[in-house]
C-alpha cells in the first residue's frame, strides 16, 4: 500500500495519525524508507518502515460510508463474552490490536454494557478507555465532526445497544419460564 504525505491513517493502539513525510535512513549499510507519522492525539512521532506498513496494521482512516456503517453497528445488539475477566481481557486485547475499528467498537460496546452492572477490573477499564479513544477519534476524523459531538452520538448509540441487549435477555429468560 502506498500512502501519501498529508493522508490520515489509523495505527493500531495509537489511533489516527497524519503522514508528515517519507524519509530515508541508512541502516546496516542500506537505505530504508520510513513513513513519519504524527499521532494526532498527543503530537508524538512514529517512524514506520514503508515495507512494514501493512504488517504493523497501518490503514487509511475509514470512509464516510464506513463511518455510517460503524455508527449503525454501535447501536446493534451483541453477543456477551466470557464471564471470566481474564479471558475477556485477552480476547478484547487481541481485538483492539488487529487495528480493525469495527472490532474496537465491539469491545467498546461490550465493556460499556458491563459498566452498567459492575465495576470493571483495572485492565478492562484500560481497554474500555483505549477502545473509546480509538472509536471516537477515528469517527471524528472520518465524519469530519468535533470529537465532543461524536462522543455524544457514540454514547447515545451505545445506550441504545445496551437497551436492546437487555430487552433480548429479558425475552430469552421469559421464553424459558414459559
pLDDT tens column, 14-59: 999 999 999 998 888 889 999 999 999 999 999 999 999 989 999 9
Quickly count: other Cβ atoms within 10 Å of residue 73's Cβ. 15
- Whether the pLDDT of residue 166 is over 90: the answer is no
pLDDT at 81: 81
CB 129 within 8 A of CB 121: no
H helices present in the chain, as ranges: 53-56, 64-74, 85-97, 101-117, 122-143, 147-177
Q: pTM, whole model, 2 decimals? A: 0.88
CB 34 within 8 A of CB 54: no
pLDDT at 170: 61
CA–CA separation, 142 and 43 (whole Å):
19
Amino acid at each position: 500500500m502506498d500512502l501519501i504525505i498529508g493522508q490520515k491513517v489509523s495505527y493500531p493502539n495509537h489511533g489516527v495519525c497524519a503522514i508528515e513525510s517519507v524519509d530515508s535512513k541508512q541502516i546496516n549499510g542500506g537505505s530504508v524508507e520510513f513513513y513519519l507519522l504524527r499521532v494526532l492525539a498527543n503530537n508524538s512521532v512514529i517512524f514506520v518502515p514503508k515495507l512494514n506498513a501493512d504488517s504493523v496494521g497501518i490503514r487509511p482512516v475509514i470512509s464516510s460510508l464506513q463511518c455510517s456503517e460503524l455508527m449503525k453497528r454501535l447501536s446493534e445488539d451483541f453477543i456477551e463474552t466470557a464471564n471470566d475477566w481474564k479471558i475477556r481481557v485477552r480476547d478484547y486485547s487481541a481485538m483492539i490490536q488487529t487495528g480493525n475499528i469495527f472490532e474496537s467498537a465491539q469491545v467498546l460496546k461490550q465493556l460499556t454494557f458491563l459498566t452498567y452492572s459492575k465495576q470493571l477490573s483495572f485492565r478492562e477499564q484500560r481497554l474500555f478507555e483505549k477502545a473509546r479513544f480509538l472509536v471516537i477519534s477515528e469517527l471524528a476524523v472520518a465524519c469530519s465532526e468535533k470529537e465532543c459531538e461524536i462522543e455524544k452520538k457514540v454514547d447515545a448509540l451505545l445506550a441504545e445497544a445496551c437497551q436492546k441487549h437487555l430487552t433480548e435477555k429479558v425475552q430469552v429468560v421469559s421464553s424459558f419460564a414459559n
